[in-house]
Amino acid sequence: MTIRPIIRYPDRRLASPARPVTVFDDGLRELAQDLLDTMRAAPGIGITAPHIGVPLRVVVLELDSKDGPRTYVNPEITWASPEMILHREGSVSMPGVNDEVQRHARVRISYQDVDGNMQSEESDGLRAVCHQHEIDQLDGMFWLQRLSRLKRERLVKRFEKMWRGRA
């Protein structure tokens, strides 16, 4: 079990697009396990490799204990419903602040598993929101960028104040 340090907002690495995974080996499986351990310790329900400073397209989600954790390698949205929903979002890289973000109600993604096998999944509700949120992160788009400038500035000020008090 390895819990890795999480990069904090506004680290510039969070704004850099991640590279596709091309090698499917024990190193990738170890990265996926480290992501899961780090996410659980944070705590969170989703994490990407860039959150721990690894610029690869890897996502781990664990939305409930019944389904267990899922790893998505090189995920891409292939379809999104026209219907939209609002959902409260935050980030393990910016703990303590969150706000409502508008997302597609349903999405279909294609991805690879840790062995390199192609998969697809259609999701709705929270899982669809998480897919969109984490794929945005892999593309270098931090969730705050989906908010109005005023909301974004308020949240950044709140986050900075919270973390100044802990230093």
Phi/psi of residue 69, each to 5°? -75, 150
Residue 124: in which H helix or E strand, if any? strand 118-124
The catalytic position among 30, 76, 134, 160 is 134
Integer angstrom CA distances of residue 30 from 4, 19, 48, 51, 96: 12, 18, 14, 16, 28
Three-state SS string over 75-121 comes to EEEEEECCCEEEEEECCCCCCCCCEEEEEECEEEEEEECCCCCEEEE
122 is catalytic: no
Give the catalytic positions in this structure. Answer: 134
